[in-house]
Amino acid sequence: MLDYALLSALAAVVREGSFERAARALHVTPSAVSQRIRLLEERVGCALVVRAQPCVATETGRRLCQHADRVRLLEHELQAELPTLDPQALLRVPLPIAVNADSLATWLAAPVARFAADAPVLMSVAVDDQDHTAEWLRSGQVLAAVTATARPATGCNSQPLGAMRYVAVASPALLARHFADGVGAASLAQAPSLVFNTKDELQARWVRRLCHRQVELPRHTLPSPQAFVVAALAGMGWALHPLALVADHLADGSLVELVPDTPLDVPLHWQQARAASRLLEGLTRAVLAAARSALIQPPAGGAPRQARATAGS
Q: Kindly report, residue by residue over 15-24, the tens digit of the pLDDT.
A: 888 999 999 9
What residue spans define the domains of the chain? Answer: 164-265
pLDDT computed for residue 305 by the predictor: 46
Identify which has the larger pLDDT, 90 or 144.
144
Going by pLDDT thresholds of 50, 70 and 90, the confidence category of residue 311 is very low
Separation between Cα atoms, residue 63 and residue 40, nearest integer Å: 14
pLDDT at 277 > cutoff 70: yes
* pLDDT tens profile 137-153: 887 778 999 999 999 98
Residue 288 pLDDT grade (very low, low, confident, very high; cuts 50, 70, 90)? very high
Q: Do the beta carbons of residue 239 and residue 194 sit within 8 Å?
A: yes
Supply the pLDDT for residue 309: 42
Contact call for residues 163 and 267 (beta carbons, < 8 A): yes
Residue 80's pLDDT is 64
Q: pLDDT value at position 59?
A: 86
The CA distances from residue 92 to 29, 117, 258, 276, in Å, are: 22, 11, 48, 18
N-to-C CA span, the chain: 64
Encode pLDDT of 44-57 as tens digits: 999 999 998 889 88
Q: Report, in this order, helix, strand and coil percent for the chain, each rounded to 5.
A: 45, 20, 35
Q: What is the pLDDT of residues 113-131, one digit of tens each?
A: 999 999 989 999 999 999 9
Sign of CA dihedral 105, 108, 112, 114: positive
pLDDT-derived band at 301, boundaries 50, 70, 90: low
Select the CATH number that applies to the domain covering 164-265 from these four: 3.10.520.10, 3.40.50.620, 3.30.1220.10, 3.40.190.10: 3.40.190.10
From the list 288, 282, 276, 274, the residue with the least C-alpha distance to 73 is 276
Q: Is residue 161 scored above 80 in pLDDT? A: yes
pLDDT tier for residue 38 given thresholds of 50, 70 and 90 = very high
**Tell me, what's the pLDDT at 307?**
41
Q: Residue 275 above 90 pLDDT?
A: no
pLDDT at 63: 84
Q: What is the mean pLDDT of residues 97-115?
A: 97
**308 pLDDT higher than 70:** no
Predicted pLDDT at 87: 52
State the chain's mean pLDDT as an integer: 89
Report the pLDDT averaged over residues 255-260.
98
Residue pair 287/189 in contact (Cβ under 8 Å)? The answer is no
Q: Which residue has the higher pLDDT, 302 or 232?
A: 232
What length is written for the chain? 313
* Residues ≥6 apart with Cβ < 8 Å to 106: 164, 225, 242, 244, 245, 294
Kindly tell me if the per-residue pLDDT of 91 is higher than 90: no
